Amino acid sequence: MRDRGEELDASSFDPMAEPVRPRLLAVRQPLSRRASAIAGVLAFAIPFVLWCLISYVPFLWHPLVLVTDAGDKSVPGTHSYVSEGQLVDRADFAARNAELARAGARQARGERSNPIYLQPPHAVGRALYTAFTTPPEGTGDVWLHESLWQSCQVIFWGFFWSALLGLPIGILCGTFALFSRLFEPFVDFVRYMPAPVFGALAVTVLGLADEPKIAIIFIGTFFQMVLVVANTTRTIDIGLLHAAQTLGASRRQLLFHVVVPGVVPALYRDMRILIGWAWTYLVVAELIGEKSGLSAFIYQQQRYRHFDNVYAAIIIIGVAGLAIDQLLAFGARYLFPWESGNTRLARLARGVRRVLPDRLAPARVI
């Protein structure tokens, strides 16, 4: 045992002592692996448990009453409309029972219930399953997975055209002051116009099918993308450009051998965020012209008051977005081995490229 009165100095350091456990709330310190994993699970578990509590615990919220027995229907009164199978306010239900009590008639019965728009987890879970197994109600209606596929196509093409133009223009703006002055003021101006305001115009010009929807996604992401890409391109370390210049790189070589490979990992991250924007615009885009995709499905199910299906579709959008993002994050580890330090993969890629004939090998500097 250490003497309590001992001065706290280097000699009091005990190498066998337990390592200090990282605290849960330490400013700008990483969590332990265990705590981090648990917190990640809780991130989804807490909202889910809250949802379950509100759905299944009868005395939590439940502002309505589902009438199971309307009591004596012959008794007149201001609340005589209360009948079996109805969802009524608790106050109205109590008023009807008061009327019935005054007449000495049979009491109405019911159970406390949530509004129709708050579906319990099991109903949404069932809807997720039945959406893929039972045919749609109306003729001409689409299955959930068909509408999901339709949405994915709209997102893909909208984002594809946006990136095809936005990436090169953004990189040019971030590299050359002239392009920046030529493009950015106008782009900044259009950026503030909400994409949906171009909806009517897009339908007039491009018709009712997918084209106007793709156009809305394009408008919603392109102008943001130019500015984001330009700003990211400007973050390249000027020292790298100077070094390349002293190594004899021409202006063209600076652009293609330094600026582009230097910012590609950051641009890739930007694209992940911008795909999120594309999903946001999807919902408006699909409601213009001929309604289509997941938004049409949601709109239709809401009119049928099938809120379990509405939630199922919303969850599918979330899952699809998260899946795409995680897929892209995973891809980054292969594409940019110098960032993750994953040289094993890089060696593999180099090996593959060595086996390929020169003409087929992708002409990358990596």
Contacts with other proteins by CB under 8 A lie at: 237, 239-240, 242-250, 253, 257-258, 261-262, 264-265, 336-339, 341, 343, 346-347, 365-366
DSSP 64: E
CB of 260 to other proteins, least distance (A): 10
CB 113 within 8 A of CB 58: no
Nearer to other proteins, 216 or 258 (CB): 258
Q: Encode 200-234: b = buried (16+ Cβ within 10 Å), e = exposed.
A: eebbeebeeebbbbbbbbbbbbbbbbbbbbbebbe
Q: What's the min distance (Å) between Cβ of 175 and other proteins?
A: 16
Q: Which is nearer to other proteins, 71 or 262 (CB)?
A: 262
Per DSSP, the residues of 213-236 read HHHHHHHHHHHHHHHHHHHHHHTS
Q: Which helix (H) or strand (E) holds 89?
A: strand 87-89
CB of 243 to other proteins, least distance (A): 4
Asked if residues 155 and 215 have their Cβ atoms less than 8 Å apart, the reply is no
Q: How far is the CB of 162 from other proteins (least distance, A)?
A: 25
Least distance (Å) between residue 262 CB and other proteins: 7
Order the strands of the 64-69 sheet from edge to edge: 87-89, 64-69, 109-113
Least distance CB 257 / other proteins (angstroms): 7
- Residue among 196 and 265 whose Cβ is closer to other proteins: 265
Minimum distance from CB of 167 to other proteins (Å)?
A: 17
CB of 263 to other proteins, least distance (A): 10
- Considering the complex, state which of residue 150 and residue 233 has its C-beta at the smaller distance from other proteins: 233
Judged by CB, which is closer to other proteins: 208, or 345? 345
Q: Tokens 């609340």 map to which residue?
A: 79
In whole angstroms, how close is the CB of 258 to other proteins at the nearest point?
A: 7
What single string gives the DSSP state of each residue in 93-150? HHHHHHHHHHTT-PPPEEEEE--TTS--HHHHHHHHHHHHHSPPSSTT---HHHHHHH
Rank residues 105 and 349 by Cβ distance to other proteins and give the closer one: 349
3-state SS class at 69: strand
Instruction: Considering the complex, state which of residue 254 and residue 283 has its C-beta at the smaller distance from other proteins.
Output: 254
Distance (Å, rounded) from C-alpha 25 to C-alpha 129? Answer: 41
Question: What is the C-alpha to C-alpha distance for residues 119 and 130, in angstroms, rounded to an integer?
Answer: 15
Helix (H) or strand (E) holding 7: none
Whether the Cβ atoms of residue 217 and residue 281 lie closer than 8 Å to each other: yes
Q: Which is nearer to other proteins, 158 or 337 (CB)?
A: 337
Of the pair 207, 351, the CB lying nearest other proteins is at 351
Burial class (CB in 10 A: 0-12, 13-18, 19+), 88: buried
